[in-house]
Amino acid sequence: MTSAFLENNPSVLSLKGVGPRIAEKLSGIGIDTVQDVLFHFPYRYEDRTRVLAIGALRPGSAAIIECVIDYSQIAFSKKGKRRRMLVCHVSDGTGSLLLRFFYFNKQQESRLAKGVRIRCFGEVRYGASSYEMVHPEIKVINGNDCELEKSLTPVYPSSEGINQGLLRTISEQVLQSLDDDKLKELLPDKIIKKYNMPLLSDAIKTMHRPEPGIDLERLFEGQHPVKQRLAFEELLVQHISLLLMRKDINQCKSLLLNSDDRFINDFYKQLPYSLTNAQNRVIEEILEDVLSPGAMMRLIQGDVGSGKTVVAAVACLKAIESGYQSVLMAPTEILAEQHYHSFSEWFEPLGIQLILLTGKAKAKERKIKIEGIRSGKVNMVIGTHALFQSDVIFNKLAMIIIDEQHRFGVHQRLSLRNKGYDKGVYPHQLIMTATPIPRSLAMTAYADLDYSVIDELPPGRKKVKTSVMSASKRAEIIERVKQSSGHGSQVYWVCTLIEESETLQCQAAEDTLIELQNALPELRIDLVHGRLNLSDKQSVMDKFKNGEIDLLVATTVIEVGVDVPNATLMVIENAERLGLAQLHQLRGRVGRGSSESHCLLMYKSPLSENAKQRLSIMREFSSGFDVAMKDLELRGPGEVLGTRQTGDMEFRVADIIRDEYLLNDVKETAVDILNNYSDRVPLLINRWLGRSDRYGQIG
């Protein structure tokens, strides 16, 4: 193979040992071409470059030993279901251990006989009476023909049907072509020299086959030059692809929303409070966007309770008073219902017609609503994923609001945007999230969007005090609820289950309702969960908001969108089962008035280390941005943004937290390459993103 082989980037079918069936399985882990093989990096390494004496072994480590089989026998496990196994007792003069094989055949049994000299590689663990290895890799030594590896052995991300042997074999074939000639450098020489980078070929080879003396700790922590080189280039390519998307968006024409602000001014007069400086600043940014010829694509971040919905309402009014339609999409029905309730109170007095469209709408009702959207009689539509359905056709859509962006993917928000496309003109789009994202992550994940932050809470808001209590103190917690209600405050009691089943969650909430009604007969207690129909759900929420319910038992459906200022206590059962973002969202349902509020996180022992960390973070931090940063550290960017399943933020080498220091240089280099080396951009994107170039397409 030569470098031309790499540059032509043929299918993996060109590699020895890869047929159609194997190629299909490799495709499942993102390997379609020979270049994909190079960029499929190991996640750890094994040291098979030296033989260790049995006497020097330590449990938990993997090692190579050379030994002689003292004896072999068939044995049966003593515990549980009796399992047949082959047990070999081996020694090397410094010590002895057992080898156990639960899967073996007659040939292996005869090969591993007394007196045979073998080399084994496996993980050492404690056995009943000595150290042992279970299913180690075995080589019979005949003379001196058993050479040791010259580099550390890679362990690759894999899947069912793709073993490490295959991945090492195909990577070795492709790496050999790097010996003939170096992979073509796509970064300009001046960038490589400026940052003193190793060559790409050398970096790739080191990642796949590191020398035995390499500092693995520096490599894993991203401090090694080869890891820094690869992380820089990967972040660079991702940033370039987002900038290209932004360029495409900016070139799209949009509707100029140049109105007299009559609806907006009347809306302000209705509000029983004044907007914060942060809200006014973001509104000005939005109004400036919609008066420019390009389509607005803006992300608004704001902690729970910061007033993002009011800002979104102003954006919708600007479109409606200009003669167009607006739409708001929410990820859950209860959040869509809450938005519909709020917008109805605001918009109906202004003579604006709005509807709610969810998956639960009956056929006749749905047909009427869809016709209203199509004819343009409906000015404002609020809905869920039901908005994506093909029969939902807008008349003159000019403003799209997407709430809780992290619940949707890039493609979904672009799909809704395309519904408003008309004769070369796109609608404006405003994306909101109450899951604060650290600036470094926002710079990377949302480089295609303008970025606004509502970093101010309404005046009078107080910090919610958070406590962590064991479920063994349930009686004390119920007494706390009684005292709180006795002072005229309202309480949430949130029930969670580890299972994803909504039916089971509702059942748990119903059981808790009965328990609390028996324990607190003097309180007015009711229940809300996702399986209630729309009218029943809204009825319960209205009663709670109007003070007709003292204690509301709920599933996590109340996570977002519920605003009851008199609710000052929240109890969250099984809090250890929820992530930081969801816990912070739930906690944000209290502390919305001027009274001091409390959140009790109730947990069941034993707690995992990760659960202990999450609960500790919730107790220590109240700011959503602080919680988000800690969440990023614990879970990684893909989980925080909700893109783990779609792979939108899956990096091969880079790490947003670890490599944050690279981002400013990455942004500067991206602009330089787009301006001066544009011919290299498609090659860079193909090299790193390949078939996953999801950012460069806006349609």
Q: Kindly state the average pLDDT of the residues 122-138.
A: 89
What pLDDT, on the 0 to 100 scale, is given for residue 697? 42
Calpha distance 462→593 (Å, rounded): 8
Evaluate if residue 520 carries a pLDDT over 50: yes
Given pLDDT bands bounded at 50, 70 and 90, which one contains residue 337?
confident
Only one residue has tokens 């040791």, namely: 148
Given pLDDT bands bounded at 50, 70 and 90, which one contains residue 42?
very high
User: In what side-by-side order are the strands of the sheet with 131-134?
Assistant: 125-126, 131-134, 96-101, 84-91, 62-76, 117-123, 137-140
Per-residue pLDDT tens over the stretch 246-276: 777 777 778 889 888 899 999 999 998 889 9
Calpha distance 440→403 (Å, rounded): 21
Stronger pLDDT, 283 or 642, i.e. the higher one: 283
The CATH number for 255-454, chosen from 3.40.50.10260, 3.40.50.1370, 3.40.50.300, 3.60.15.10, is 3.40.50.300
Residue 244's Cβ-count burial label (10 Å; 0-12, 13-18, 19+) is: buried
Given pLDDT bands bounded at 50, 70 and 90, which one contains residue 694?
very low
What pLDDT, on the 0 to 100 scale, is given for residue 622? 82
Q: How would you classify residue 428: left for phi > 0, otherwise alpha for psi between -120 and 50, otherwise beta? A: beta
Per-residue pLDDT tens over the stretch 135-175: 998 888 887 667 888 899 999 998 888 999 899 999 999 99
Evaluate if residue 408 carries a pLDDT over 70: no
- Secondary structure (DSSP) of 600-636: EEEE-SSPPHHHHHHHHHHHH---HHHHHHHHHHHH-
What pLDDT, on the 0 to 100 scale, is given for residue 671? 93
What pLDDT, on the 0 to 100 scale, is given for residue 53? 94
Q: Which CATH architecture has domain 50-148?
A: Beta Barrel (2.40)
What pLDDT, on the 0 to 100 scale, is given for residue 80? 57
75-79, 128-132, 312-316, 368-372, range with the lowest pLDDT:
75-79
Stronger pLDDT, 649 or 484, i.e. the higher one: 484
Evaluate if residue 415 carries a pLDDT over 70: no
Calpha distance 344→172 (Å, rounded): 64
Question: Could you give phi then psi for residue 676, rounded to 5 degrees?
Answer: -120, -15
Q: Kindly state the average pLDDT of the residues 186-194.
A: 95
Given pLDDT bands bounded at 50, 70 and 90, which one contains residue 482?
very high
Domain 465-621 in the same topology as domain 255-454: yes
For 622, half-sphere exposure in the C-beta direction (CA atoms, 13 angstrom radius) is 14
Q: Kindly state the average pLDDT of the residues 236-251.
A: 82
54-63, 103-112, 642-651, range with the lowest pLDDT:
642-651
Evaluate if residue 690 carries a pLDDT over 50: yes
Q: Kindly state the average pLDDT of the residues 464-490.
A: 91
Evaluate if residue 549 carries a pLDDT over 70: yes
What pLDDT, on the 0 to 100 scale, is given for residue 419? 75
Tell me if 333 sits within 8 A of 386, measured CB to CB: no
| Angle (deg, nearest 10), helices 663-676 and 225-251 | 60
Stronger pLDDT, 147 or 515, i.e. the higher one: 515
What pLDDT, on the 0 to 100 scale, is given for residue 588? 83
Q: How would you classify residue 305: left for phi > 0, otherwise alpha for psi between -120 and 50, otherwise beta? A: left
Give CATH for domain 465-621.
Answer: 3.40.50.300
Evaluate if residue 438 carries a pLDDT over 70: no
Cβ neighbors of 479 (< 8 A, separation 6 or more) are none
For 209, half-sphere exposure in the C-beta direction (CA atoms, 13 angstrom radius) is 19
Q: Alpha carbon of 4 to those of 9, 188, 540: distances in Å? A: 8, 20, 69
Cβ neighbors of 331 (< 8 A, separation 6 or more) are 384, 385, 403, 404, 407, 408
Question: What percentage of the chain has pLDDT greater than the value 70?
Answer: 87
Q: Kindly state the average pLDDT of the residues 419-444.
A: 75
| Of 54, 71, 73, the residue nearest 116 (C-alpha) | 71
Kindly report whether the global pTM for this prediction surpasses the value 0.85. no
Residue 419's CB: how many other CB atoms inside 10 A? 17
Domain ranges, ordered by start, for the chain: 3-45+154-214, 50-148, 255-454, 465-621
Cβ neighbors of 196 (< 8 A, separation 6 or more) are 225
Contacts by 387-392, CB closer than 8 A, 24 or more apart = 387/327, 387/329, 387/357, 387/416, 387/419, 388/412, 388/415, 388/416, 392/357, 392/419
Greatest alpha-carbon pair distance for the chain in Å reads 96
